[in-house]
A and B are shown apart, each in its own frame.
Chain A
């Protein structure tokens, strides 16, 4: 299964190193993390050492080596959001979900990340759940946001 998918992704690009990051991005998008066996396959087929792939995978924030929740929650800690109280929003999510930033809930429904600026600072503080942007979030609105994705 994974093997076919990875071949499919590899076929989208020229097999040279400048495509490596794009390949990892597609893989991340597909599985919402980088499965080990997929990386091994990429290493073999693109003829790059696994260690190089892993160094890219850990350097860039877009990549994760662990599975993420179904609904990734990204709380913006950019400057505009920070001065409007984003840290408190993040902590409220931690308490409500019972996890720390960077972790995933046991039911694999949510993972919580802090990010730097989502580019909609006009609506600060901003929280993104999956692709959906929530603006002007307050601590009291947090439970309702979580509830929306629980169904």
Chain B
């Protein structure tokens, strides 16, 4: 493998090549930049670098100019010649391509001054936007593998575990188990032939969360280094990175990173000449949510059906092929090098009493600044939604945020000042989960959300235990009935009873937590359930069986002059009328897809 000698460039253009930006044509931007730089004879001075996800996905495609940290957004190929001429030749940054906060008149040129980035503290995402993930040299230049050298040459396994323990790091995969304690358990576990394994859980099944993907794609060496340190601490000789089926780019990047690490003698036999052996294999998931659960994941690495088994024994005692196995989440691993490098005490100085350090969240749904953020634990929901997230689009009202995926719950707007840490989320009826935050506004129906999650867990239940398999089905049936306006008040009690049984009797975490979305919505949004049951109305107009679309003839005629757009877009020819006259909807043909509502420029289409 050729190791590229970095030339010295005057300027680096860091083009985001995360999935979001790529789908917004980031690679075309890159090509256009390179072409224009060449045309202007700047190729010896300016270098274009493609980085992993920058986080501010909403504004892609993105580029950051270094030095200066100048942030450009929503670029198009057309902008490039002007940008190169103005910024790179004449030294005049281009204002119109910078980010301008919705209510302000001037743009914010520097990335670190933009609200979305200002409150973030980057630990797991420390190299975000600063390195090319396919170049180990970039990682090393940012102090990469420094912690490994320290761990291998200056620390005993006990000292490593001690450092992780005092850091207070808890698992980022959902349950929040103390990482140092887990490592100690695996270290203490006895393996007849001294084989122990280490696994990185990159299954990331929680819909709405994409931090693990981003870390694996943007900074694979941070995970590899973390695993190497963990291997030394617990005495493992073989590691596995289990990556979700839907993430082919992550697989590609890890494979490249593993090759480069081996080339540098950081992986394999006699690592750094210290006599320590360790290697890592990549295993691709095959598309089953339950495989994120640790025992199911281990089964599928062994080539068996990805079904959970009862614990104990925990994987720490009996894991892969019956050997003690330490399994941690991607983000957990990515934190390790920093903890070793800067010390557990430093890490513990961030966050709250029981939740230390930072956490990566994906903020998605009905929010202005969708993207990926890393913030100190204990930050309030308000700061995330309003300061970082920029509030709700279209001046709508914030209703709730869903955390913890299908195992979590919905936190209502009243709890906007809730500090985000493991305990307070659990007390609110939800959980940290992997860090997905789906924001909901007044147009989101909470009964529909509950039904959505139940259909998810029902679909993903592996079917091995009855409470989960049959119980979630019964709950889903009731919820569907309610969203169709056929529910009764007894249904609510029935839902709560079923929820208790499922929580109590299910085999694994999937079933045990499946009722949470229903229970939290019943707790905070009972009035919405009642509206569906008593008034047969969906207040947010989401549950389609309960919606009726109508065209206000006066608005249609006077304001829109019967523009006919709705009729042309109607999928089922349900709209009657011709250009110039007021239109009408034939309710017998209407399938309530809402296209007429979306396309009408005059607000003539009403939904009741």
Which residues of A line the B interface, CB within 8 A? 16-22, 24-25, 55-56, 59-63, 77-85, 88, 91-92, 95, 115-124, 131-135, 138-140
Q: A49 to nearest B CB, angstroms?
A: 13
B420 to chain A, nearest CB (A): 18
Further 7 A-B residue pairs, CB within 8 A, beyond A21-B303, A79-B208: A55-B305, A60-B287, A62-B286, A84-B366, A116-B207, A122-B210, A135-B20
Which segment, of B6-14, B34-42, B225-233, B591-599, faces chain A? B591-599
How far is it, in angstroms, between the C-alpha of A138 and the C-alpha of B595 when the chains are bound? 9
Residue from the list A56, A78, A81, A95 in contact with B305, Cβ < 8 A: A56
Q: Which residues of B contact A78 (CB under 8 A)?
A: 207-208
Measured between alpha carbons, how far is A124 from B19 in the docked complex, in Å? 13
Q: How many A-B residue pairs have CB under 8 A?
A: 151
| B302–A79 CB distance below 8 A | no
Kindly state whether residue B557 has any CB partner on chain A within 8 Å: no
Nearest residue (CB) in A for B449 is: A83
Residue among B206, B246, B444, B598 with max Cβ neighbours from chain A (10 Å): B246
B contact residues around A16 at 8 Å (CB): 303
Q: Which residues of B contact A88 (CB under 8 A)?
A: 593-594
Beta-carbon contact of A79 and B402 below 8 Å? yes
Are the C-beta atoms of B449 and A25 separated by less than 8 Å?
no
A interface footprint on B438-462 (CB within 8 Å = 1, 0 otherwise): 1010001000010011001000101
Q: Which residues of A contact B366 (CB under 8 A)?
A: 83-84
A131 to B440 Cα, complex, angstroms = 29
CB <8 Å contact, B210 and A25: no
Query: 1/0 contact trace for B391-433 toward A, CB 8 Å?
Result: 0000000000010010000000000000000000000000000
Whole-angstrom CA separation of A71 from B213 in the bound complex: 24
Could you show 11 A-B contacts with beta carbons less than 8 Å apart?
A20-B303, A21-B286, A62-B285, A63-B286, A81-B207, A116-B205, A116-B207, A116-B456, A122-B57, A135-B23, A140-B598
How far apart are the CA atoms of A131 and B366 in the complex, in Å? 26
B124 CB to nearest chain A CB (Å):
17
Whether the pair A119, B364 counts as a contact (CB closer than 8 A) is no
Contacts of B204 in A (CB 8 A): 119
**In the complex, what residues of A have CB within 8 A of residue B244's CB?**
119
Query: Are A61 and B287 in contact, CB atoms less than 8 angstroms apart?
Result: yes
Residue from B213, B594, B598 in contact with A119 in the complex, judged by beta carbons closer than 8 Å: B213
Once the chains bind, are A123 and B289 in contact (CB under 8 Å)? Answer: no
- B440 vs chain A, min Cβ distance (A): 6
- CB 8 Å contact bits of B282-301 with A (1 = contact, 0 = none): 01111111000000000011
Residues of B within 8 A of A116 (CB): 205, 207, 289, 456, 460
Known: A95-B571, A116-B207. Contact between A121 and B370, CB under 8 A? yes
A140 touches B569 (CB 8 A): yes
Q: How many residues of B contact A (CB 8 A)?
A: 60
CA distance A25 to B303 in the complex (A): 12
Known: A80-B207, A122-B57, A122-B371. A59 touches B20 (CB 8 A): no
B residues near A85, Cβ cutoff 8 Å: 594
Q: Are B286 and A17 in contact (CB under 8 A)?
A: no
Q: Is the CB–CB distance between B301 and A59 below 8 Å?
A: no
What's the nearest-Cβ distance from chain B to residue A84, in Å? 7
Closest residue of B by beta carbon distance from A59? B305
* Given known contacts A59-B288, A59-B305, A79-B405, A122 and B599 CB-to-CB distance under 8 angstroms: no
Chain B: which residue is nearest A76 at the CB level?
Answer: B207
Q: Does B456 lie within 8 Å of A25, measured CB to CB? A: no
Query: What CA separation (Å) do A20 and B594 show in the bound complex?
Result: 46
3 A-B pairs closest in CB distance: A122-B57, A78-B207, A61-B287
- Residues in A with CB closer than 8 Å to B205 are 116-117
A132's nearest neighbour on chain B, judged by CB, is B23
A24 to B37, CA, bound (A): 45
Q: Is the C-beta of B272 less than 8 angstroms from some C-beta in chain A?
A: no
In the bound complex, CA of A49 to CA of B567 (Å): 58
Question: Is the Cβ of A84 less than 8 Å from the Cβ of B286?
Answer: no
Q: Please indicate the chain A residues that have their CB under 8 angstroms from the CB of B571 in the complex.
A: 92, 95
Determine which of A19, A92, A139 lies in contact with B303 in the assembled complex, contact meaning CB atoms within 8 Å.
Answer: A19
Residues of chain B within 8 A of A118, CB atoms compared? 246
Q: Enumerate B165-215 residues with CB–CB distance to A below 8 Å.
A: 204-210, 213
The yes or no answer to B341 lying at the interface (CB within 8 A) is no
Given contacts A120-B19, A122-B371, contact A62 B598 (CB under 8 A): no
Q: Contact at A17–B569, with CB atoms within 8 Å?
A: no
Contact A83 B20 (CB under 8 A): no
Alpha-carbon separation in the docked complex, A92 to B440 (Å): 23
Q: Say whether, besides A61-B286, A61-B287, A18 and B302 are in contact (CB < 8 Å).
A: yes
**In the assembly, what is the distance between CA of A116 and CA of B206, in Å?**
9
Residues of B close to A139: CB separation below 8 A? 593-595, 598
B468 CB, min distance to chain A CBs, angstroms: 16
Distance (whole angstroms) from the CB of A66 to the closest CB of chain B: 16
A128 CB, min distance to chain B CBs, angstroms: 9
**Is B222 part of the contact surface with A, judged by Cβ < 8 Å?**
no
A60 contacts B302, CB within 8 Å? no
Shortest distance from the beta carbon of B487 to any chain A beta carbon, whole Å: 20
B521 close to A (CB within 8 Å): no
In the assembled complex, the Cα of A145 lies from the Cα of B209 at a distance in Å of 26
The answer to whether B57 and A25 touch across the interface, beta carbons within 8 angstroms, is no
* Cβ-defined partner of A25 (8 Å) among B209, B284, B593: B284
Point out the residues of chain B lying under 8 angstroms from A124, CB to CB. 364-365, 370
Question: Min CB distance, A136 to chain B, in Å?
Answer: 9
Quick check: is B436 within 8 A (CB to CB) of the other chain? Answer: yes
Give which listed residue, B288, B371, B569, contacts A60 with CB less than 8 A.
Answer: B288
Is B362 in the interface zone, CB < 8 Å from A? yes
Nearest opposing residue in chain B for A46, CB measure: B303
